[in-house]
């Protein structure tokens, strides 16, 4: 990449990160309290599929209010949660103190440049954040870098359709709701991103749940004009089947389906990296 192109990319990234900080500063309290985010059964299933050793040193990337970090801390040796935004980190630290969890800590850091040496962690986990990243390959590459050879990288995220027009329709109404949403990847892209980071897929699970549109818009405090546009897109999707999010009305209330994928991958020795696809 030329110096000019890389300078332009850098400026775009800074702009995007400002959007992330704005959104998650405003949303911090409502996001942390959201039943879907707190859902302990879903977090326990993430821990079960990750299967961390008890003596694991764990990194939670883009940890937000720390629900995942603190659950891992209950079953592992040590957890560090990093996030770009201070407001959710303050909530994470407050819950840590309230729950008297001594083996977790939180710090401000960018997934783009994780401030730890190569191979520092046994397990690296990242939930619901890849769709906010402006460069998922680079960030998953960073997760792989700080994981030890043979350690586990576990990613849980929203996924979109394998059909690009349908995926783009879905990502468009997500972006209207939250300007820091970049793009939920298709499952095949997530798998390819993992492979190109020198990771080998070990376990996989999928899940879906009905998302109530009005609560979703309230959590993000989306301004009325953008909320109206997102609602109109979802309504049209309900009638015309445009995104794969299969909107529906239940007792008059509008929902659409979140499709989630969880992938657990093992970091390969250097000799086996770089041979994917
Ligand atoms: C939807 S929240 C998920 C929080 C948490 N992982 C959870 O599942 O509860 C997304 C989080 O990603 C963080 N984030 C987005 N881009 C980031 C980056 N480049 N580096 C670190 N954190 C980032 C945001 O600040 C926000 O807290």
Which ligand 1 atom sits nearest the alpha carbon of residue 180?
15
**Is residue 261 lining ligand 1, measured as CB closer than 6 Å?**
no
Confidence check: pLDDT of 6 > 70: no
Count CB neighbours of 92 within 10 A. 26
Mean per-residue pLDDT, 13-41: 93
Distance, CA 116 to ligand 1 centroid (Å)?
A: 18
In a domain, 236, yes or no: no
In a domain, 239, yes or no: no
Q: Check residues 12 and 43 and name the one with the higher pLDDT.
A: 43
Mean per-residue pLDDT, 210-235: 96
Q: Check residues 10 and 221 and name the one with the higher pLDDT.
A: 221
What CATH number is attached to the domain comprising 22? 3.40.50.150
For residue 168, CA distances in Å to 190, 193, 244, 263 come to: 16, 19, 11, 22
Return the pLDDT at 184. Answer: 98
Return the pLDDT at 9. Answer: 63
Write the DSSP assignment of the chain as a string of letters.
Answer: --HHHHHHHHHHHHHHHHHHHHHHHHHHHHHHH-HHHH-HHHHHHHHHHH---TT-EEEEET-TT-HHHHHHHTTSSEEEEEES-HHHHHHHHHHHHHTT-TTEEEEE--TTS-SS-TT-EEEEEEES-GGG-S-HHHHHHHHHHHEEEEEEEEEEEE-B-SSHHHHHHHHHHHHHH-TT---PPBHHHHHHHHHHTTEEEEEEEEEEEEEEHHHHHHHTT--HHHHHHHHHHHHHHHHH--SSS--EEETTEEEEEEEEEEEEEEEPPGGGTT---
Please give the backbone phi and psi of residue 28, each rounded to the nearest 5 degrees, phi first: -45, -55
pLDDT digits (tens, 9 = 90+) for 106-122: 999 999 999 999 999 99
In a domain, 228, yes or no: no
Of 29, 84, 91, the one to substitute when testing ligand 1's pocket (max ligand atoms within 8 A of C-beta) is: 84
In a domain, 99, yes or no: yes
Q: Terminus-to-terminus CA distance in the chain, angstroms? A: 23
Range of the domain at 194: 3-162+179-209+260-271
Return the pLDDT at 19. Answer: 93
Mean per-residue pLDDT, 229-257: 97
Q: Can you tell me the distance from the alpha carbon of 253 to that of 87, in angstroms, rounded to the nearest whole number?
A: 31
In a domain, 170, yes or no: no
In a domain, 78, yes or no: yes
In a domain, 124, yes or no: yes
Q: Check residues 259 and 11 and name the one with the higher pLDDT.
A: 259
Confidence check: pLDDT of 63 > 70: yes
In a domain, 27, yes or no: yes
Residue-averaged pLDDT of the chain: 95
Confidence check: pLDDT of 141 > 80: yes
In which band, very low, low, confident or very high, does the pLDDT at 270 lie, cut at 50, 70 and 90?
A: confident
Confidence check: pLDDT of 67 > 90: yes
Mean per-residue pLDDT, 242-263: 97
In which band, very low, low, confident or very high, does the pLDDT at 253 lie, cut at 50, 70 and 90?
A: very high
Return the pLDDT at 276. Answer: 65
Confidence check: pLDDT of 177 > 70: yes
Among 45-54, 72-81, 206-215, 265-274, which is the least confidently predicted range?
265-274
pLDDT digits (tens, 9 = 90+) for 39-57: 999 999 999 999 999 999 9
Distance, CA 80 to ligand 1 centroid (Å)?
A: 14
Distance, CA 235 to ligand 1 centroid (Å)?
A: 28
pTM (global) more than 0.85: yes
Domain total in the chain: 1
Mean per-residue pLDDT, 20-42: 95
Distance, CA 252 to ligand 1 centroid (Å)?
A: 32
């Amino acid at each position: 990449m030329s110096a000019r192109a890389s300078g332009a990319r850098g400026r775009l990234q800074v702009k995007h990160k400002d959007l992330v900080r704005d959104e998650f500063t405003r949303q911090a309290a409502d996001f942390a309290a959201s039943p879907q985010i707190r859902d302990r059964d879903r977090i326990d299933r993430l821990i079960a599929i990750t299967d961390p050793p008890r003596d694991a040193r764990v990194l939670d990337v883009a940890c937000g209010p720390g629900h995942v970090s603190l659950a891992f801390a209950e079953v592992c040796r040590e957890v560090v949660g990093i996030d770009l935004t201070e407001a959710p980190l303050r909530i994470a630290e407050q819950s840590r103190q309230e729950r008297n969890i001594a083996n977790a800590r939180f710090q401000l850091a960018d997934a783009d440049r994780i401030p730890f040496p190569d191979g520092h962690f046994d397990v690296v986990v990242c939930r619901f954040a890849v769709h906010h990243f402006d460069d998922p390959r680079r960030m998953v590459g960073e997760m792989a870098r700080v994981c030890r050879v043979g350690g586990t990288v576990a990613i849980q995220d929203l996924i979109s359709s394998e059909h690009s027009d349908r995926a783009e329709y879905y990502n468009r109404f997500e972006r209207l709701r939250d300007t820091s949403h970049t793009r939920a990847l298709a499952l095949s892209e997530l798998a390819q991103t993992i492979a190109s980071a020198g990771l080998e897929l070990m376990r996989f699970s999928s899940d879906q749940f009905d998302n109530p549109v009005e609560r979703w818009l309230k959590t993000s405090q989306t301004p009325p004009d953008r909320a109206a546009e997102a609602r109109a897109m979802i309504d049209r999707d309900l009638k015309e089947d445009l995104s794969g999010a299969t909107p529906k009305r239940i007792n008059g209330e509008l929902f659409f389906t979140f499709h989630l994928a969880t992938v657990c991958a093992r970091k390969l020795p250097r000799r086996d990296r770089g041979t994917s696809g």
